[in-house]
């Protein structure tokens, strides 16, 4: 049996660029080389495509260690050095299409997790691991996710969606509206980013406008959410038409909340897998994850995040990630491993599911 070529897409223009590289490095380390050849395709922060030796050099860079030891600026400098000598060649996506059997995307955030690259691959008939265009776009927008989940009977935290144009026109009025509808502390989040980038926990009115400014610098839509006093519980979902949910896992943050620094720099958070939940609550969380997965039309994979409220054990949706992290400390592969699917088997299954999916536009 001849090997298939897996195009590994990583990098990208989003603020989650570095996490994408870390995820891609972990996926590459766990691809079954007896069955698959890897074609790394790196997209730099400016959206330029790099293949060949340049993409391999970036994939080989231990970004996680460099990030912890030297910081983000040092990583950016090193990436600039690695891409500077790319023989002056500008690659186009179509340059690679004839060589690709299936794609694996670790493009977290904008221009990767939001359906844009999925639509491109659909157009050219290239199968890929994970959700399709529509599910990716819906899940990327936290406000739309909440609407779909609520319609499916899943409880969500009270929230307000604010558009950038309205905020720019009258920030004072927006801040007043927020303080009238919400009690502190509250969360301010960009609507369409992950890895806790741009998120602020606001404890009083003085901190509200800086938090909104921070979020609007990254997104044109921002969510203000009630703070839920509860445990942060996550579930991995794997499958197409018959998805399966993993055991739940719990994140115990090392700081005020589970932010970017806590995830990828300080690594002070504690992960409890499986989460120590009452049996009935654990099953409710798993069923809720499957409901959200189906409501959004997901396929392949997703990580669904919930709060289990203190005192009541109410299960409340936080968000869903259709291209979850695949780093060594990421919950998705850890949850699947605890559920009996190791990292290498997980990557192989995701590639199988990609090839299993029906064509988006079948020939009539």
Q: What confidence tens digit (pLDDT) does each residue in 249-281 have?
A: 999 976 555 555 555 555 567 899 999 998 899
Nearest of 302, 354, 341, 350 to residue 323 by alpha carbon:
302
What does the pLDDT read at residue 192? 86
**Same structural domain, 147 and 271:** yes
Compute the average pLDDT of residues 156-171. 96
Cα within 13 Å of Cα(181), Cβ side? 13
Residue 133 lies in a domain: no
- The total domain count for the chain is 3
Domain boundary among 184, 206, 226: 226
Residue 134 lies in a domain: no
Q: How confident is the model at residue 1 (pLDDT cuts 50, 70, 90)?
A: low
The boundaries of the domain holding residue 102 are 4-128
Sort strands 49-50 and 102-105 into parallel, antiparallel or unpaired. unpaired
**Same structural domain, 237 and 333:** yes
Is residue 157's pLDDT more than 60? yes
Question: Best-predicted range by mean pLDDT among 195-199, 260-264, 314-318?
Answer: 314-318
Q: How confident is the model at residue 132 (pLDDT cuts 50, 70, 90)?
A: very high
Is residue 364's pLDDT more than 60? no
Compute the average pLDDT of residues 179-189. 95
Domain boundary among 206, 226, 246: 226
- Rounded distance between C-alpha atoms, residue 253 and residue 47, angstroms: 33
Residue 38 pairs in a beta bridge with 6
Domain boundary among 190, 209, 226: 226
**279 vs 144, more confident:** 144
Query: 81: which residues sit within 8 A by CB, 6+ positions away?
Result: none
**Same structural domain, 314 and 242:** yes
Residue 201 pairs in a beta bridge with 187
- Rounded distance between C-alpha atoms, residue 188 and residue 176, angstroms: 15
Structure tokens at 106: 């670790």
Nearest of 240, 244, 312, 331 to residue 23 by alpha carbon:
331
CATH classification of the domain holding 92: 3.40.50.20
Segment 233-252, tens digit of pLDDT: 999 999 999 999 999 999 99
Is residue 359's pLDDT more than 90? no
| Spatial strand order in the sheet of 4-11 | 49-50, 36-43, 4-11, 102-105
Residue 175 lies in a domain: yes
What does the pLDDT read at residue 327? 87
Query: 53: which residues sit within 8 A by CB, 6+ positions away?
Result: none
**Same structural domain, 119 and 261:** no
Is residue 221's pLDDT more than 60? yes
**Same structural domain, 260 and 342:** yes
Three-class SS of residue 200? strand
**Same structural domain, 210 and 323:** no
Is residue 362's pLDDT more than 60? no
Residue 362 lies in a domain: no
**Same structural domain, 146 and 292:** yes
pLDDT > 90 fraction of the chain, expressed in percent and rounded? 76
Q: What is the reported pTM?
A: 0.90
End-to-end CA separation in angstroms for the chain = 31
**Same structural domain, 148 and 292:** yes
Query: What is the chain's mean pLDDT, rounded?
Result: 90
**Same structural domain, 91 and 12:** yes
CATH classification of the domain holding 215: 3.30.1490.20
**CB of 289 within 8 A of CB of 249?**
no
**CB of 252 within 8 A of CB of 272?**
yes
- DSSP summary character for residue 184: S
pLDDT > 70 fraction of the chain, expressed in percent and rounded? 90
Residue 363 lies in a domain: no
- Rounded distance between C-alpha atoms, residue 101 and residue 90, angstroms: 23
**Same structural domain, 116 and 89:** yes
CATH classification of the domain holding 243: 3.30.470.20
**CB of 111 within 8 A of CB of 136?**
no
């Amino acid at each position: 049996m001849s090997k298939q070529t897996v195009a590994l897409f990583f990098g990208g223009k989003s603020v989650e660029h570095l996490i994408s590289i870390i995820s891609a490095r972990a996926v590459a380390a766990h691809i079954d080389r007896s069955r698959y050849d890897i074609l790394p395709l790196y997209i730099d922060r400016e959206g330029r495509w790099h293949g060949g030796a340049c993409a391999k050099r970036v994939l080989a860079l231990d970004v996680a260690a460099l990030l912890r030891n030297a910081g983000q600026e040092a990583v950016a400098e090193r990436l600039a050095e690695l891409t500077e000598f790319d023989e002056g060649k500008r690659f186009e996506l179509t340059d690679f299409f004839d060589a690709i059997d299936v794609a694996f995307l670790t493009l977290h955030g904008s221009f990767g997790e939001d359906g844009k690259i999925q639509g491109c691959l659909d157009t050219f008939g290239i199968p890929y691991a994970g959700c399709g265009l529509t599910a990716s776009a819906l899940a990327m927008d936290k406000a739309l996710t909440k609407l779909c989940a609520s319609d499916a009977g899943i409880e969500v935290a009270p929230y307000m969606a604010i558009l950038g144009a309205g905020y720019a026109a009258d920030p004072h009025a927006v801040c007043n509206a927020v303080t009238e509808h919400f009690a502190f502390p509250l969360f301010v989040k960009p609507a369409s980013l992950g890895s806790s980038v741009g998120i602020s926990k606001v404890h009083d009115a003085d901190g509200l406008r800086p938090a909104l400014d921070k979020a609007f610098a990254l997104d044109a839509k921002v969510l203000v959410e009630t703070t839920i006093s509860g445990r942060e519980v996550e579930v991995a979902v794997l499958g197409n038409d018959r998805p399966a949910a993993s055991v739940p896992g719990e994140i115990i943050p090392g700081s005020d909340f589970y932010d970017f620094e806590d995830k990828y720099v300080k690594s002070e958070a504690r992960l409890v897998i499986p989460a120590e939940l009452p049996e009935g609550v654990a099953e409710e969380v798993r069923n809720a994850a499957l409901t959200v997965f189906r409501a959004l039309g997901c396929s392949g994979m997703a990580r669904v995040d919930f709060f289990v409220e203190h005192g009541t054990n109410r299960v409340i949706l936080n968000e869903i990630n259709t291209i979850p992290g695949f780093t060594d400390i990421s919950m998705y592969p850890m949850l699947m491993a605890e559920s009996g699917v190791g990292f290498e088997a997980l990557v192989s299954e995701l590639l199988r599911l990609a090839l299993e999916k029906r064509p988006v536009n079948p020939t009539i």
